[in-house]
Amino acid sequence: MTDQRFKNEKEIHTDFLKKMTYGDYLQLDQLLSSQKRLSDHHDEMLFIIIHHVSELWLKLIIHETRGAIEAIQKDDLRTSFKMLSRVSKTQAQIIQAWDVLSTMTPAEYMEFRDKLGNASGFQSYQYRLVEFVLGYKTPHILKIYKKNPEIHSILEDAYHKPGLYDVAIHALARHGFDISDDVLNRDFSKTYEKDASVEAAWISVYKNVSDHWELYELAEKLVDIEDWFQQWRFRHMKTVERIIGHKKGTGGSSGVGYLKHVLDHYFFPELWDLRSKI
């Protein structure tokens, strides 16, 4: 009886696969019906699609970064390299999205801006999740999403876990480098601060590349991600400045002022400081 039931279920599954279309697999009906304009202005469709596409790319960045974190924790650095390279390529796609959005003029944006209400890109929880998985933790972010228990739970979980840079530093320790106990045993929910022992370890890696090739490659993958992230931030800032100038953003955000401020932030500070010291 059990064998017959298994056979029937297998036949049903196989039959479904034969009938499944491209649209079925990708759930295109749901995806393509999500772009709902609140105005009659032509360019609002561009605005919605750019942000939908960016959220999908952010989802992939989170997925690949988490995979890389797991690989590094297992000391499988080579597997992490493929994932981290994919993160960088994805970042390039998000940066190009700003070029498309910048084809919209200030006058065109003002035609539908009032329809956005308090909605703002600063409210993107996936962007905050990217910051968390890279290792940048700020407590006020969790408070923003406290009214949404599901999203708050997702962010809180990531908030207390080690970020990408944390696991990279632990990899240094496993490979024999003398890393401060304060760093290795730190509270991962706190914002990371530069440490002399971490800088010394990375400098040694860069001065002895042949002896520490995988750690060197890991460091350069991290620098790639930081570089692309800074370029994304810059293009974001210039696009906002081009479209709304220095006015406040929707939702009351400070807009260009805030975006300029975060350009000075680094996820992996020692990897940039060492370039002046080797």
Quote the pTM value.
0.88
What pLDDT, on the 0 to 100 scale, is given for residue 13?
58
**Do 22 and 123 sit in the same domain of this protein?**
no
Helix, strand, or coil here: 250?
A: helix
Per the domain annotation, does 37 fall within a domain? no
Q: Which domain, by its residues, includes 21?
A: 1-31
Written as six digits, the tokens of 176 are: 């024999």
What pLDDT, on the 0 to 100 scale, is given for residue 90?
97
What pLDDT, on the 0 to 100 scale, is given for residue 144?
86
**Do 145 and 22 sit in the same domain of this protein?**
no
Mean pLDDT (10-residue bins), the chain, 278 residues:
56 69 94 95 96 96 98 98 98 93 91 86 89 91 89 95 98 98 96 96 97 98 96 88 75 67 87 94
Q: Give helix then strand counts, H and E, for the chain.
A: 15, 0
**Do 108 and 209 sit in the same domain of this protein?**
yes
**Do 1 and 90 sit in the same domain of this protein?**
no
Q: Determine what percent of the chain falls in helix, strand and coil, rounding each to the nearest 5.
A: 70, 0, 30
**Do 23 and 60 sit in the same domain of this protein?**
no
Phi, psi of 165, rounded to the nearest 5 degrees: -70, -35
Identify the helix (H) or strand (E) that includes residue 149.
helix 149-159
Identify the helix (H) or strand (E) that includes residue 228.
helix 213-244
Spell out a b/e string for 160-179, using b for 16 or more CB atoms within 10 Å of the CB, else e: ebbbbbbbbbbbbbeeebeb
**Do 93 and 2 sit in the same domain of this protein?**
no
**Do 89 and 12 sit in the same domain of this protein?**
no
What is the distance of C-alpha 259 from the center of its chain? 16
Q: Are 132 and 155 in contact (CB under 8 A)?
A: yes
Query: How many distinct structural domains can be found in the chain?
Result: 2
Written as six digits, the tokens of 102 are: 């910048």
What pLDDT, on the 0 to 100 scale, is given for residue 203?
98
